[in-house]
Each structure stands twice: as C-alpha cells, then as structure tokens.
Amino acid sequence: MSELRLVLLGNSWSGTCSVGNFLLGQTEFRFSDRCEKITGQYRGKNMVLVKTPDLLHLSEASVSALMKDCVELSAPGPHVFILVLQPEDFTELQKTKLQSVLENFSDQAFGHSLLLFLPPRRAADSFEHYRRESPLKDFIKQCRFRYLKQKDMEQLELMTRVGQIVRENNGEHVSTDALHLTPQTPVNSQTQSDGRAGQLQVHTWERSKIIEYSQSCLKVIVMKINKSPPFPP
C-alpha cells in the first residue's frame, strides 16, 4: 500500500483543521471554504489528508460541488473517513445531512468511518451525556461503535484506530464508482429551530440531474479496488 488516504468531515471547521494538523505534526490547514489536500508522512509512507469545510451548514448546491472536489482529491478513493464532531452541536438535522453526505460518497462509507469527538465547550458538560442520547447514540451505532475522544489523545492512538479500520476492510479503499448525489433535506427556519428537520423525507433528484453529475465524475471512477496490505498502525 503506497499511501493512506484520509478524508476529514465534520460540523466544526476549526475541529477538522486541528485534527488534520495534529495528524501532520505541523500547521498546514487553516480556515477555508474549499476542500484541501495535503500530503504528509507517517512511518515513512505517504499519508494524504483531504479536509472539507463544514458541509453540514451549506446549501445542497454547495455540498454537491464540494463532494465532487473531495472525490477528485481523494482518488482513487479514501481508506478512512474521520468524522470530527462537536457533540453538543450534533442535532437530528446534522445527523441526516452527514448520513446523506456519506451515502452519496459511497454505500461503503460507514464501514470506513471513525468518529472523533471534540471536548464539550463547557467544562460542566459530559460527553457521556451526549453519547447516551439521540441523535449521537444512533449515529455511533451506525458507524459500528468506532469512536475516540480528542481530549488527551496522542497521534499514535488515532493512527492505531485508523490502522484497525484499514485492516478490517482488508486494506481496501472506498470505491467511488457508484457515486451518486442525494439532495440534502430542505430546511426552513421554523423546522431548523424546533429540531424536527431530521424527520423530513429526502426527496429524490430528477433522473437527468443524476445522469449529469455521474458523467462529470467519470474521470474519477475507480477501475479496481486496492487490495494491498493495510497501512501499519
């Protein structure tokens, strides 16, 4: 396996930046409203990090364009998605949007995902409180209970968990040959404020839009899955 490809997603742009820089061992990522790719080294091998902006607060059109960029930057496909979340901000609406982003990327994405929780902003708040409540409880289950807390975490610990996910998937990366886009749930101000947006149904795009996007992504279609030995933890 010549390189390890990681995609950083989340609901905090500062959180994804800090995690990316933490993995690289130096400050490379800063605030940006675009997808960014940085190549670093870990144990003598290439490690590609693709950082996305906060997709959970963007419009459907913006998310679609950014996902296309993310696919191109992480080609031929990421090995692991690191989902950086501020637990107290994770609502039903954000869960629905993040599920949609992952499903649009690939139906394999949840099996390649690691949740990384930022410390609650208020010292009096407990992560365990949020972990036991929906929607976080449900999303942790969907990601096969793979999660870490950022507080006091060391780089080796994070890379060990990443390596475990790579091994569990036999060293294979996510295949993007089935890439499709599902629109984000339409939201109005009242729905967003009362927290019921997660109950809205996601509408299907017109067939013509799906075909149009699929054609634009042909150049990043994965022709085969990398079956090299997993990246060492």
Confidence bin at 72 (pLDDT 50/70/90) = very high
Query: How many whole angstroms separate alpha carbon 100 and alpha carbon 88?
Result: 20
Confidence bin at 179 (pLDDT 50/70/90) = low
Residue 28 has pLDDT above 50, yes or no: yes
Query: How many whole angstroms separate alpha carbon 139 and alpha carbon 202?
Result: 18
Confidence bin at 125 (pLDDT 50/70/90) = confident
Is the CB of residue 106 less than 8 Å from the CB of residue 178? Answer: yes
Confidence bin at 55 (pLDDT 50/70/90) = confident
Q: Percent of the chain scored above 90 by pLDDT?
A: 48
